[in-house]
C-alpha cells in the first residue's frame, strides 16, 4: 500500500476525562468493537484506586500496567486506530500534557451526573490552545444525571467549546429509552444489556412519523421532537472543517458500561476524525506525506526490572516511513542510530515491526540516549516543537544521603528527569539542586526508585516556592533585566535546558515582580506558547 493510503487510514487519538468518568470503560468497548480483545474487563485500569493515593507502591504497580496501555492499537473497518493512554490522576497531568502533543484528535468523556469536572477543564484547555479536534462523549446515561441542555450549556461555558449534538438522549436514568442518532438519523433503543447486538439500531427516516411513537411511546417521542427542534434552532449544523480546526465540537450521548452509543461514536469518529496532521518543527512545517522519516519522543518508560536499566522511548512518527535497522539521526546529540527491534503496539501486546507509518507509535529500546522531546530524522537538522514543561506545584531541595554513592545519585536523577518524572532546577547562587513535581507523590517515587534502581539515597529539604516561572526578557542586555537578575539573584535557577527560571514564593511576589519589571516576561510554560502572566 502506498504511503498516502497508509496515512489516510490512520487515526491517532487520546481519551481525556476526569478520573471515574469512564475513560477505561470506553477504551475497552472501543477495543471490543475492533476485535482487539474478546471480553469486557480485559483492559487493566491504570488509575490509582481510591484511598491508595498516598501509597506509592501502588504507583509502581500502575507503572507496570501503564507500559501495556500506553498505546492501544486496533483496526476497525480498515482504519488503523491508535489510542494513546493519558493518565487521569492529577499528579500525572504533565504526562498527559506530553501525550497530547502526539495525538491528532481527542475524545472527551464527561459523566452525565457530575458534568464538567476540574481535570477535564485543564486538559480541554490544553487541547483548545492547540486547536486539537475534539469529540465529546457524555457517559453514564443509564444513571440519573443532568438535563442534556443544561450539560451542553455547561460544556460551552466551562470548557469554552462550541458544541453541536450528533446524538440526543431519549429520557435518562430510570427512564432512559435510547438515543436518537442525529448523524445517521436513526434510533437506538436501550435494553440495559451490555451484550446488546449492534444491529438493534432502528432506522427512522422521519421523526414526525408514528413509527417513533410506537418505538418509544408517545410522550417520549413528543419530547424528543421538541428537543430536536430546539437543538436545530440553538446549535450550529455539524461542519467538518470547523471541527478539524478545533472550532466546533460534536457531542454524543451513551453508556460505555452498557456498550450503548459507543458504536455510533466510533463510526462517526472514523469518518470525521483527522488523519495524521502536519507538525511544526523549529525550522518548518513537516507534512506526513513527505517521503523522509521524522518523528519525536513524547514518552519514556523505564524497565520495571531494576536489573535491566533499559527504557522504552515512545516515538510518534510524523512523516515518511520508519524502518527497522535503518540509521536515523538523533538530532540533539548529532549521532546516527539504528534500531534492530522497534516495537509496535497492538491492543495490549507489543511486537517487533519492520515498518511503521505516520500516526503510528514505535517503542524504541534505549539505554539512556533519549530525552522527552528528542527528534529523529533521516539527516535533516530540525527539532519538533511543542513539548513544553509546565511549572511544577511542589518543590524540594534534593540532598545526597550517602556520600559514597554520589555518582549513582547524579545518574539516577538525570535519568528520572529524562523520563519526565519531575523537573530538576539548579540554583544560580549556590548550585543546589531543586526537584519540582506536579504531585506530592512523585517525591516518594523518586526516592524509592533512586534507591532500588540506582543504589543511591537522597534526602529532601523543604523549600518555599509557589511557582517556577520561565524568564523571558524583552531585551537581555537591558538595565532592567540586569537589575532583575541582581535583585532576584537568590531566586533564580536554570532548568534542564539551561533556561532561566524564577522561583516566586507567593502569588503576591509574582505580581509585584511583574509590575516592577514589565520588560521581563514570566511564563508558567517553558515554551512560551501561552500568554505571559498578567501583572
Ligand atoms: P476512568 O477510567 O475514567 O477513571 O473510569 P472507569 O472507566 O474506570 O469508570 C469508573 C466507574 O464508572 C467504574 O465503576 C465503571 O464501571 C463505571 N462506569 C463507566 N461507564 C459507565 C456507564 O455507562 N454507566 C454506569 N452506570 N457506570 C459506568 P467502579 O465501580 O468505580 O469500578 P468497577 O469496580 O466497576 O471497575
| Pocket of ligand 1 contains residue 84 by CB under 6 Å | no
Measure 251 CA to ligand 1 centroid, in angstroms.
Answer: 20
pLDDT of 535 above 50: no
d(CA 236, CA 223): 21
| Pocket of ligand 1 contains residue 120 by CB under 6 Å | no
Three-state DSSP at 439 gives coil
d(CA 39, CA 197): 14
| Pocket of ligand 1 contains residue 18 by CB under 6 Å | no
| Pocket of ligand 1 contains residue 140 by CB under 6 Å | yes
Q: What is the pLDDT of residue 452?
A: 85
Start and end residues for every CATH 3.30.70.3280 domain found in the chain: 394-523
For all residues of the chain together, what is the average pLDDT?
Answer: 86
- State pLDDT tens for residues 477-496: 999 999 999 999 999 999 98
Q: Which pairing describes strands 500-504 and 492-494: parallel, antiparallel, or unpaired?
A: antiparallel
- State pLDDT tens for residues 246-269: 999 999 999 999 888 898 899 999
The domain defined by 3-71+86-177+232-272 carries CATH number 3.40.50.880: no
- State pLDDT tens for residues 230-242: 999 999 999 999 9
Length of the chain: 535
Measure 348 CA to ligand 1 centroid, in angstroms.
Answer: 20
Q: What is the pLDDT of residue 97?
A: 83
User: Which positions ≥6 away from 116 have C-beta within 8 Å?
Assistant: 110, 154, 155, 158, 159
Q: What is the pLDDT of residue 348?
A: 63
- Residue 4 DSSP symbol: H
Measure 196 CA to ligand 1 centroid, in angstroms.
Answer: 18
| Confidence label for 344 from pLDDT (cuts 50, 70 and 90) | confident
Rg of the chain taking only CA atoms, in angstroms: 25
d(CA 116, CA 123): 11
| Pocket of ligand 1 contains residue 201 by CB under 6 Å | no
Q: What is the pLDDT of residue 436?
A: 94
- Give the atom of ligand 1 at the shortest distance from the alpha carbon of 109: 3
Q: What is the pLDDT of residue 534?
A: 40
| Pocket of ligand 1 contains residue 20 by CB under 6 Å | yes
| Confidence label for 444 from pLDDT (cuts 50, 70 and 90) | confident
Nearest CA to ligand 1 atom 14: 20
What mean pLDDT is predicted for residues 400-410? 92
Three-state DSSP at 126 gives helix
pLDDT of 306 above 70: no
Nearest CA to ligand 1 atom 22: 140
Measure 43 CA to ligand 1 centroid, in angstroms.
Answer: 13
Q: What is the pLDDT of residue 529?
A: 46
pLDDT of 312 above 50: yes
Start and end residues for every CATH 3.40.50.300 domain found in the chain: 3-71+86-177+232-272, 279-377
Measure 255 CA to ligand 1 centroid, in angstroms.
Answer: 10
Measure 112 CA to ligand 1 centroid, in angstroms.
Answer: 12
Q: What is the pLDDT of residue 41?
A: 59
- State pLDDT tens for residues 123-153: 898 899 889 999 999 999 989 899 999 999 9
| Confidence label for 172 from pLDDT (cuts 50, 70 and 90) | confident
User: Which positions ≥6 away from 234 have C-beta within 8 Å?
Assistant: none
| Pocket of ligand 1 contains residue 88 by CB under 6 Å | yes
Q: What is the pLDDT of residue 63?
A: 61
| Pocket of ligand 1 contains residue 256 by CB under 6 Å | yes
* Burial label, 109 (beta-carbon count in 10 A; 0-12, 13-18, 19+): buried
| Pocket of ligand 1 contains residue 46 by CB under 6 Å | no
Residue of 15, 16, 18, 25 to mutate, ligand 1, most atoms within 8 A of C-beta: 25
Go through 500-534 and write b for each residue having 16 or more CB atoms within 10 A of its CB, e for each that does not: bbbbbeeeebbeebbeebeebbbbbbbeeeeebbe
Phi, psi of 30 (to 5 degrees): -65, -40
CB-hemisphere CA count at 13 Å for 302? 26
pLDDT of 156 above 80: yes
| Pocket of ligand 1 contains residue 255 by CB under 6 Å | yes
| Pocket of ligand 1 contains residue 259 by CB under 6 Å | no
| Pocket of ligand 1 contains residue 45 by CB under 6 Å | yes
Nearest CA to ligand 1 atom 19: 22
**More confident site: 184 or 82:** 82
Residue of 46, 109, 257 to mutate, ligand 1, most atoms within 8 A of C-beta: 257
Q: What is the pLDDT of residue 33?
A: 82
What mean pLDDT is predicted for residues 447-470? 92
d(CA 316, CA 101): 9
Least confident of 182-186, 276-280, 378-382: 182-186
- State pLDDT tens for residues 33-85: 877 666 655 555 555 444 444 455 666 666 655 555 678 888 999 999 999 98
CATH architecture, range 279-377? 3-Layer(aba) Sandwich (3.40)
Q: What percent of the chain stands above pLDDT 90? A: 56
| Pocket of ligand 1 contains residue 47 by CB under 6 Å | yes
| Pocket of ligand 1 contains residue 257 by CB under 6 Å | yes
CATH architecture, range 394-523? 2-Layer Sandwich (3.30)
d(CA 316, CA 334): 19
Beta bridge partners of 286: 279
H/E stretch holding 362? strand 361-366
Nearest CA to ligand 1 atom 31: 20
Nearest CA to ligand 1 atom 30: 20
Least confident of 38-47, 61-70, 290-299, 384-393: 38-47
Amino acid at each position: 500500500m502506498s504511503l498516502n493510503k497508509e496515512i489516510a487510514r490512520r487515526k491517532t487519538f487520546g481519551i481525556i476525562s476526569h478520573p471515574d468518568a469512564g475513560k477505561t470503560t470506553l477504551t475497552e468497548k472501543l477495543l471490543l468493537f475492533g476485535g482487539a480483545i474478546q471480553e469486557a474487563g480485559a483492559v487493566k485500569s491504570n488509575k490509582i484506586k481510591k484511598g491508595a493515593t498516598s501509597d506509592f507502591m501502588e504507583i509502581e504497580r500502575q507503572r507496570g500496567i501503564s507500559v501495556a496501555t500506553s498505546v492501544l492499537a486496533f483496526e476497525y473497518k480498515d482504519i488503523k486506530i491508535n489510542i494513546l493512554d493519558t493518565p487521569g490522576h492529577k499528579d500525572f497531568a504533565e504526562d498527559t500534557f506530553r501525550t497530547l502533543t502526539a495525538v491528532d484528535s481527542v475524545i472527551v468523556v464527561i459523566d452525565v451526573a457530575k458534568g464538567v469536572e476540574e481535570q477535564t477543564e485543564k486538559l480541554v484547555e490544553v487541547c483548545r490552545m492547540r486547536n486539537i479536534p475534539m469529540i465529546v462523549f457524555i457517559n453514564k446515561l443509564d444513571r440519573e444525571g443532568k438535563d442534556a441542555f443544561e450539560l451542553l450549556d455547561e460544556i460551552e461555558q466551562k470548557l469554552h467549546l462550541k458544541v453541536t449534538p450528533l446524538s440526543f438522549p431519549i429520557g435518562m436514568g430510570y427512564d432512559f429509552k435510547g438515543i436518537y442518532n442525529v448523524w445517521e438519523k436513526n434510533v437506538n433503543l436501550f435494553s440495559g444489556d451490555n451484550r446488546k447486538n449492534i444491529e438493534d439500531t432502528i432506522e427512522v427516516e422521519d421523526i414526525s412519523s408514528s413509527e417513533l411513537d410506537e418505538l418509544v411511546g408517545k410522550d417520549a417521542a413528543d419530547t424528543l421532537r421538541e428537543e430536536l427542534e430546539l437543538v436545530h434552532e440553538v446549535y450550529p449544523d455539524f461542519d467538518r472543517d470547523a471541527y478539524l480546526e478545533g472550532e466546533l465540537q460534536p457531542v454524543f450521548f451513551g453508556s460505555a458500561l452498557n456498550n450503548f452509543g459507543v458504536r455510533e461514536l466510533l463510526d462517526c469518529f472514523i469518518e470525521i476524525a483527522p488523519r495524521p496532521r502536519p507538525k511544526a518543527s523549529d525550522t518548518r512545517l513537516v507534512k506526513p506525506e513527505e517521503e523522509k522519516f521524522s518523528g519525536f519522543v513524547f514518552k519514556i518508560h523505564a524497565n520495571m526490572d531494576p536489573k535491566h536499566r533499559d527504557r522504552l522511548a515512545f516515538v510518534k512518527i510524523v512523516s515518511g516511513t520508519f524502518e527497522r535497522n535503518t540509521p536515523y539521526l538523533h538530532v540533539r546529540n548529532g549521532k546516527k542510530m539504528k534500531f534492530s527491534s522497534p516495537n509496535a503496539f497492538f491492543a495490549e501486546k507489543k511486537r517487533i515491526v519492520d515498518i511503521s507509518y505516520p500516526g503510528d507509535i514505535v517503542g524504541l529500546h534505549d539505554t539512556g540516549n533519549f530525552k522527552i522531546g528528542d527528534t529523529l530524522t533521516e539527516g535533516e537538522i530540525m527539532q519538533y516543537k511543542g513539548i513544553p514543561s509546565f511549572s511544577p506545584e511542589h518543590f524540594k531541595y534534593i540532598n545526597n544521603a550517602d556520600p559514597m554513592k554520589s555518582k549513582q545519585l547524579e545518574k539516577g536523577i538525570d535519568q528520572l528527569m529524562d523520563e519526565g518524572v519531575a523537573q530538576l532546577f539548579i540554583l544560580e547562587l549556590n548550585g543546589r539542586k531543586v526537584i519540582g513535581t506536579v504531585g506530592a507523590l512523585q517525591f516518594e517515587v523518586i526516592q524509592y526508585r533512586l534507591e532500588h534502581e540506582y543504589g543511591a539515597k537522597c534526602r529532601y529539604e523543604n523549600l518555599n516556592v509557589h511557582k517556577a516561572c520561565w524568564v523571558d526578557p524583552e531585551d537581555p542586555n537591558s538595565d532592567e533585566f540586569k537589575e532583575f537578575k541582581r535583585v532576584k539573584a537568590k531566586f533564580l535557577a536554570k532548568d534542564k535546558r539551561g533556561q532561566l527560571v524564577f522561583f516566586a514564593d507567593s502569588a503576591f511576589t509574582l505580581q509585584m515582580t511583574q509590575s516592577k519589571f514589565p520588560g521581563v516576561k514570566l511564563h508558567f510554560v517553558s515554551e512560551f506558547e501561552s500568554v505571559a502572566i498578567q501583572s
